[in-house]
A and B are shown apart, each in its own frame.
Chain A
Amino acid sequence: MAFLARRLGAAVLLLGVLSLLSFVLLAAAPGKPENLLLGPRPSTPETRAAIRAQFHLDDPIHERYLSWLGGALHGDFGTSVYTREPVTSIITERLPVTAGLATYALILTIGVGIPLGLAAAMRRGGRLDQGITLTSLVALAVPPFALSILLLYGFAVTLGWFPVFGAGETAAERIAHLTLPAVALAAGEAAVVVRQMRAAALDLVGQDYLTFARARGLSLPRVWISYALRNTALPVLTVGGLLLAANLTGALFVERAFGLPGLGELLVTAVARKDIPVVQALVLLGGAVVVVVNLLIDLTYLAVDPRVRHGAVAS
Chain B
Amino acid sequence: MTSATALPRVALAALLLLSAGCAGSRQDRADTLRWALSEVPNSLDIAHGFNNPSTIVQFAVLDCMVTLGKKGEVLPGVAESWTHPDPLTYVFTLREGVKFSDGSPLTAEDAAYSLSRHVDPKVASQAASYVTMVKKVEATGPRTVTVTLSRPNQAFLPTAALAWQIVPKKLAEAHPADLGSPEVGTLGTGPFKVAKFSLTEGVTLERNPLYWGPKPALRKIELRTITDPETLRLAVSSGEADGTADVRPSEARKWTSLRDVTTTFYPADNIAFLSLAVNQGPLKDVHVRRAIAHAVDRAALVQLMTGGHGGQADLFLPKPQLTALYGAALPALPTYAYDVEAAKAELAKSAYPRGFTLATPYDSGGENVKAMQAVAADLAKIGIMLELKPLPSEKYITQRMDHEDLAVQMANLYYSTPDPSEVLPDLLSRASAKPQGFNFSGYGTAALDAGLDDVGRLEGEARRKAITKVLAEVAEQVPYLPLFHNESAIAVNKRFTTDVGTWTIDILSAVRPAGA
Which chain A residues have a beta carbon within 8 Å of chain B's beta carbons? 29-32, 35-51, 54, 82-86, 89-90, 93-94, 97, 111, 115, 149, 152-153, 156-157, 160-167, 169, 172-173, 175-176, 179, 221, 256-259, 261, 265, 272, 274
Closest chain B residue to A177, Cβ basis: B22
Query: Which residue of chain B is the closest to A262 with respect to CB atoms?
Result: B200
Cβ contact of A54, chosen from B16, B42, B124, B227, cutoff 8 A: B124
Closest to B21 in A: A172
Q: Which of B251-288 contact A (CB under 8 A)?
A: none
By CB atoms of chain B within 10 A, which of A31, A50, A86, A165 has the most?
A165
- The docked-state distance in angstroms from the alpha carbon of A256 to that of B225 is 10
Q: Which A residue's beta carbon lies closest to that of B236?
A: A164
With A30-B392, A44-B132, A84-B178 in contact, do A157 and B238 touch (Cβ < 8 Å)?
Answer: yes
Known A41-B50, A42-B129: A82·B42 in contact at CB below 8 Å: yes
Say whether, besides A89-B183, A162-B22, A261 and B200 are in contact (CB < 8 Å): yes
Give the interface of B toward A (CB within 8 A).
2, 4, 7, 15-16, 18-19, 21-23, 25, 40, 42-43, 48, 50-51, 119, 121-126, 128-129, 132, 177-178, 181-183, 198-201, 224-228, 230-232, 234-235, 237-238, 240-241, 392-395, 397-399, 401, 411, 413-414, 426, 432, 436-438
B126 A163 Cβ-Cβ under 8 A: no
Interchain CB contact under 8 A, B227 and A259: yes
**Contact assessment for A83 and B436 in the assembled complex, using a CB-CB cutoff below 8 Å:** no
Q: Given contacts A44-B128, A172-B21, are A50 and B122 in contact (CB under 8 A)?
A: yes
The 9 closest A-B pairs by CB, nearest first: A31-B394, A30-B395, A50-B124, A261-B200, A259-B226, A161-B19, A176-B18, A50-B121, A42-B129
Of chain B, the residue at the smallest CB distance from A39 is: B51
Which residues in A have their C-beta under 8 angstroms from that of B181?
83-85
Give the one of B124, B201, B241, B426 with max A CB within 10 A: B124
Q: Which residue of A lies closest to B199 (CB)?
A: A83
Instruction: Give Cα A300 to B61, complex, Å.
Output: 54
Q: Besides the contacts A42-B432, A43-B129, A261-B199, what 19 more A-B pairs have beta carbons closer than 8 Å?
A: A31-B395, A39-B51, A39-B126, A40-B413, A86-B183, A89-B183, A93-B198, A152-B231, A161-B16, A162-B19, A164-B238, A165-B231, A172-B21, A176-B18, A176-B22, A179-B18, A221-B2, A261-B40, A272-B393
A84 to B238: give the CA distance in the assembly, Å. 34
Number of A-B contacts (CB under 8 A): 163
Q: Is the CB of A42 within 8 A of B437?
A: yes
Contact of A46 among B50, B121, B183, B226 (CB under 8 A): B121
For the complex, would chain A's binding face be called helix, strand, loop or mixed by DSSP majority?
Answer: helix
Given the complex, which residues of A lie within 8 Å of B394, measured CB to CB? 29-31, 36, 272, 274
Residues of chain B with a CB closer than 8 A to A83's CB: 40, 42-43, 181-182, 199
**Which residues in A have their C-beta under 8 angstroms from that of B414?**
40
**Which residues of the other chain, A, contact B232 by a CB distance below 8 angstroms?**
165, 259
Interchain CA distance A163-B239 in the complex, whole Å: 10
**B2 touching A259, Cβ below 8 Å:** no
Contact yes or no, B19 A176, CB < 8 A: yes
* Nearest Cβ on chain A to B37's Cβ, whole angstroms: 10
Q: Complex Cα distance A15/B516, Å?
A: 59
Q: How far is the CA of A40 from the CA of B125 in the complex (A)?
A: 15
CB closest chain-B residue, reference A261: B200
* Cβ contact within 8 Å between A41 and B129: yes
Kindly provide the distance from the CB of A203 to the nearest chain B CB, expressed in whole angstroms: 22
When the two chains form their complex, are residues B22 and A85 in contact, meaning their CB atoms are under 8 A apart? Answer: no
Bound Cα distance A149, B43 (Å): 31
